[in-house]
Chains A and B, each alone.
Chain A
């Protein structure tokens, strides 16, 4: 099992560009999450999904969109990147709301 994988690992964008981060899990988990991690702060939830075809906003959703067309994939989109979106993005999945969350290796995004 690969667990949770994320692509790309690293990306540099210019302000205003768009991109999509892909998260895939092979554990048949219903729940998937996107977090961002910034220096001196804990991970903050951007969006999450409780199953295929569903998405919901987390703590910091502005500037991001998500889609869960397949159970194993959770996509995070930035339509018009801003320097404030420079961060490390982690995807996670879990079997249930109160179950252990398993994280992907992260995507480092730099917006110039």
Chain B
């Protein structure tokens, strides 16, 4: 079993749709969680950190469920510019950072 698992997609959604991604992790001692966005042939960029209480940034909402060991990302009112690969990142103690393989999203007009 991979330490961090994501549905690779692709998710094909129309503009304005709401889409949700889940990510599961295997290490219950994991300490911090992030969503990164990666455009085609570009570097990953931090989208948002994920806190236990859940957090929201505009159209993006991230949530953490420690009991079930998953994190989620909800995108509301999808835009064409949201098309990208979304990487789930889980960090343990020290420098152990595990990247998921990513979920591809295509938003179509």
Contact = CB atoms under 8 A, between A and B. Distances in A.
Interface of A: 31, 33, 35, 40-45, 48, 50, 56, 58, 90, 97-98, 100-106
Contacts of B34: 100
Nearest to B6: A42
B98 to A, nearest CB: 7
Contacts of B42: 105-106
Contacts of B41: 106
Interface of B is mostly: strand
Interface stretch (B10-18, B60-68, B72-80, B89-97): B89-97
Contact of B98 (A42, A56, A97, A104): A42
A57 to B, nearest CB: 10
B44 A43 contact: yes
Contacts of A97: 94-95
Contacts of B100: 42
Nearest to A31: B95
B31 A105 contact: no
A45 B99 CA distance: 9
Contacts of A58: 95
Interface string B45-77: 110010000000000000000000000000000
Nearest to B2: A42
A103 B45 contact: yes
Nearest to B44: A103
A103 B43 contact: yes
